[in-house]
Amino acid sequence: MPLTPEEKLRYQRQTILPQLGEEGQLRLKNSSILCIGTGGLGSPAITYLAAAGVGHLGLIDPDHVDHTNLHRQILHKTSAVNSSKLESARSRILEINPNTKITLHPGKFTTENALQLVEPYDLIIDGSDNFPTRFAANDAAFFLKKPLVHGAIYQFDGQVTVFAPHLNGPCYRCLLPEIPPDNAVPT
């Protein structure tokens, strides 16, 4: 499906880039990304993906917006405190880009539901904050041969890694074979 006149206007500043162009914008429009977590890591990722024109965003997060989230979780606003992070995210995304299709997946991302959740998406973003979820995301991406963007933050340090099992690249378990014991890593 070609870009609409409104989309051409909206994305004009990025489609003039020769590395993207209208063909690249169409690829974004027809792409789907699952973001695990809508908090400190997922929040800015989701914001920019929607603004850039990614056509379909799947979101999973079991939490509610809390006052202590607002200083770092830029997707959520004060009026969303005590509401579902998923509902808050959907509302804000549609303000940013009403053309974005949003699928909400309430609950936790677990080994039991990981394959089913990941399967319909082109790429996975792991914005989680715990090792069981990170390992479940890795395993689903590995077995379904989907790219996985993994992010982590500790105080003032952050890291981003892209795992490409679809290109026979290494995975998260290649770096960290076993889930660390509780309290082995600071939060």
pLDDT tens-digit map of 137-170: 999 999 999 999 999 888 888 899 999 999 999 9
Q: Which residue has the tokens 């989680």?
A: 128
pLDDT reading at 179 higher than 90 = no
Q: Where are the domains of the chain?
A: 36-175
**Residue 89 near residue 69 (C-beta atoms within 8 A):** no
What average pLDDT does range 31-60 have in this prediction?
97
Q: What is the pLDDT of residues 2-23, one digit of tens each?
A: 899 999 999 999 999 999 999 9
The span from the first CA to the last CA of the chain, in angstroms, equals 45
**Residue 79 near residue 125 (C-beta atoms within 8 A):** no
Q: What is the pLDDT of residues 83-133, one digit of tens each?
A: 999 999 999 999 999 999 999 999 999 999 999 999 999 999 999 989 999
% of the chain residues with pLDDT over 70:
99
What average pLDDT does range 24-30 have in this prediction?
97
What average pLDDT does range 59-65 have in this prediction?
97
**Residue 73 near residue 90 (C-beta atoms within 8 A):** no
Q: Residue 161: which H helix or E strand, with range?
A: strand 157-163
pLDDT reading at 182 higher than 80 = no
- What is the value of pTM for the model shown? 0.94
pLDDT reading at 187 higher than 70 = no
Decide if domain 36-175 falls under CATH 3.40.50.720: yes
Mean pLDDT of the chain: 94
